[in-house]
C-alpha cells in the first residue's frame, strides 16, 4: 500500500542497506571455494528481495525487474557453483548494479521546486513583517519615553 500512496520515500527503500550490504559477503564467499555459507547469505538476500518484490512491481519498470529476476535465476542454478570464481563475481556484480539502480530510483524524487519557493516567500514575508512591527514598537516606546520626559522634567 505504501508503494501506491508514497511518491518519494517508499518503505521498501529502507531495506537498501540489508540487501546491498550482503553483496560484499557474497563476493567474499564466492572467492573462497571452501566456504559453505554462500547459500545462507544468498537465501537471506532472496528473502528480503521477495519481501519487497510486490512493491517493486508498482514502482519499478517490468524490464528492470525481469533483468534482476534473470540474474537471480542464473545464480540459483546448479551450474553457478561449477563456474569459475571470475564468472561468479561477474554475475554478482551485475545483480548488485541492477539492484543499486533500483534503489537509486528512490533518490530521483526530490522536493517540488515550487514548494521551496513557497517556503522562502512565506518565510521572508513573515521575517519582514516581524522586523517592521519590532521597529515600530521600538520607535513608539522611544517617543513615549521622550514625551514622558518632556511632560515631567526633572526638578
Q: Are 60 and 20 members of one domain?
A: yes
Q: Are 49 and 17 members of one domain?
A: yes
Please give the Cα distance from 65 to 67 (Å, whole number).
5
Q: Are 101 and 122 members of one domain?
A: no
Q: Are 69 and 32 members of one domain?
A: yes
Name, in order, each residue with C-beta under 8 angstroms of 49's C-beta and a sequence gap of 6 or more. 19, 68, 72, 99
Highest mean pLDDT among 19-28, 78-87, 88-97, 129-138: 129-138
Q: Are 60 and 122 members of one domain?
A: no
Q: Are 31 and 44 members of one domain?
A: yes
Name, in order, each residue with C-beta under 8 angstroms of 26's C-beta and a sequence gap of 6 or more. 38, 41, 42, 45, 92
How is residue 1 annotated by DSSP? Answer: -
Could you tell me if 95 and 26 are in contact, meaning their C-beta atoms sit under 8 angstroms apart?
no
Which range among 9-18, 25-34, 40-49, 142-151 shows the weakest confidence by mean pLDDT? 9-18
Q: Are 58 and 91 members of one domain?
A: yes
Q: What's the confidence (pLDDT) of residue 3?
A: 44
Residue 61, SS3? coil
Span 43-80, pLDDT tens digits? 888 888 888 787 777 767 888 888 888 888 888 877 77
pTM for the whole structure: 0.56
Q: What's the confidence (pLDDT) of residue 2?
A: 46
pLDDT band at 8 (very low <50, low <70, confident <90, very high): low
Q: What's the confidence (pLDDT) of residue 153?
A: 74
Domains of the chain: total: 2
Span 77-120, pLDDT tens digits? 777 777 787 888 888 888 888 878 877 766 454 556 688 888 99
Q: Are 92 and 129 members of one domain?
A: no
Q: Are 23 and 75 members of one domain?
A: yes
71-99 burial string, b = 16+ CB within 10 Å, else e?
bbeebeeeebeebeeeebeebbebbbebb
pLDDT band at 14 (very low <50, low <70, confident <90, very high): low
Domain that holds residue 146: 111-155
* Domain-terminating residue out of 89, 107, 125: 107
Q: Are 51 and 99 members of one domain?
A: yes
Q: Are 52 and 117 members of one domain?
A: no
Q: Are 8 and 60 members of one domain?
A: yes
**What sign does the CA torsion over 38, 41, 62, 53 have?**
positive
Amino acid at each position: 500500500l505504501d508503494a501506491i500512496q508514497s511518491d518519494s520515500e517508499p518503505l521498501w527503500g529502507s531495506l537498501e542497506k540489508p540487501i546491498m550490504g550482503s553483496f560484499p559477503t557474497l563476493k567474499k564467499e564466492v572467492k573462497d571455494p571452501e566456504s559453505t555459507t554462500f547459500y545462507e547469505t544468498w537465501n537471506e538476500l532472496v528473502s528480503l528481495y521477495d519481501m519487497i518484490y510486490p512493491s517493486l512491481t508498482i514502482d519499478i519498470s517490468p524490464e528492470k525487474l525481469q533483468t534482476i529476476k534473470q540474474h537471480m535465476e542464473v545464480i540459483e542454478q546448479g551450474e553457478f557453483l561449477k563456474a569459475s570464481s571470475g564468472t561468479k563475481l561477474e554475475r554478482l556484480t551485475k545483480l548488485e548494479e541492477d539492484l543499486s539502480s533500483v534503489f537509486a530510483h528512490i533518490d530521483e524524487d526530490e522536493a517540488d521546486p515550487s514548494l521551496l519557493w513557497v517556503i522562502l516567500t512565506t518565510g521572508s514575508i513573515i521575517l519582514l513583517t516581524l522586523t517592521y512591527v519590532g521597529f515600530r514598537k521600538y520607535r513608539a516606546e522611544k517617543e513615549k519615553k521622550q514625551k514622558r520626559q518632556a511632560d515631567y522634567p526633572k526638578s
